[in-house]
Amino acid sequence: PQFWTEDPELWFCQVEAVFATSRVKSSLTKYQLTIPHLGRQVLKQAADIVKDPGENPYENLKERLLSVYTESETLRIKKLLEDKKLGIGERPSQFLRELRRLAGVSFAPDLLRSMWLRALPDRMQSTLAVTSEKDLEKLAEVADRIAEVYEHSVYDVAPLQPSEPSGQKSSIEEAINKLTEEIAALKTHLNKYEERQHSRSRSRSRGRRICFYHERFKDKAKKCRQPCDWKPIHQSGK
């Protein structure tokens, strides 16, 4: 394939895999096979090497192209900060893994955490701010649960009915107020959740085990996570 200016390292990995399969070992032969796959603009970046390959022409060409087209760490960070946002339907934990992949293993963990949090929706950031969880993986799991609750809350808000402008404004305000109450309740629940973590096994041995969704939404819960002993109110009396 033609040279990938956006990912030169991966392109060379592919090319060298072909060389290995074909048992091409000569630096000059590798160079001659590589040149036809470089466009005009790419060749301009290595014009001096193309005109005078010298010794080890393939290695010289590869080194030049990697130095020109590989992103610096500073540019990588800037690109992550400016371009990456949580996608529609994407779980926060999936988004974290994508950031890690782009950042590389040498990326500072504290900076990765800051970038990940900054890219989340504002209301999710404010909810996560109340938890003292330090482990980023566990924090991402909490964020996943928050995202599920927010999705659930959106379905709970009654659809706005066509009406006069003043009535429509009132309906919108009511919907916003309900979501605000849901967020406040979720913050309270997260605090209680952290306290319960220390005595989870003891708590489970006493009484019924109720999942997060039924504990929060009771009979209105649209999801259930096992183990859960919740029974609808109309069945509990039977």
Per-residue pLDDT for 220 more than 90?
A: no
Quick check: 65 and 8 in contact, CB under 8 A?
A: yes
The two tokens of residue 77 are: 């960070």
Looking at the whole model, is its pTM more than 0.95? no
pLDDT at 236 over 80: no
**Residue type for position 53:** P
Distance CA 37, CA 2 (A): 5
CB atoms closer than 10 angstroms to residue 108: 11
Quote the pLDDT of residue 157: 40
Sorted by sequence, the CB contacts under 8 Å of residue 224 that are 6+ apart come out as 211, 213, 214, 230
Q: How far apart are CA 144 and CA 78, in angstroms?
A: 26
Q: Which residues of 188-212 are buried (b: 16+ CB within 10 A; e: fewer)?
A: ebbeebeeeeeeeeeeeeeeeebbb
What local confidence, expressed as pLDDT, does residue 186 receive? 73
Q: How far apart are CA 117 and CA 111, in angstroms?
A: 10
Sequence-separated (6 or more) residues with CB below 8 Å from residue 172: 160
Q: Is it the case that residue 169 has pLDDT exceeding 80?
A: no
Q: Are 102 and 48 in contact (CB under 8 A)?
A: no
Instruction: Provide the residue type at 46 as one letter.
Output: A
What are the tens digits of pLDDT across the range 182-209? 777 777 777 676 666 555 545 544 556 7
Write down the mean pLDDT value for the chain. 79
Closest CA to 131 of 141, 121, 122, 118: 141
CB 80 within 8 A of CB 102: yes
Query: What's the pLDDT tens digit per position in 13-39?
Result: 999 999 999 999 999 999 999 999 999
**148's tokens:** 């599920």
Cα 107 → chain centroid: 16
Query: How far is the C-alpha of 199 from the C-alpha of 74, rounded, in Å?
Result: 45
Q: What is the pLDDT of residue 47?
A: 94
| Greater pLDDT, 103 or 176 | 103
> What is the predicted pLDDT for the residue at 163?
46
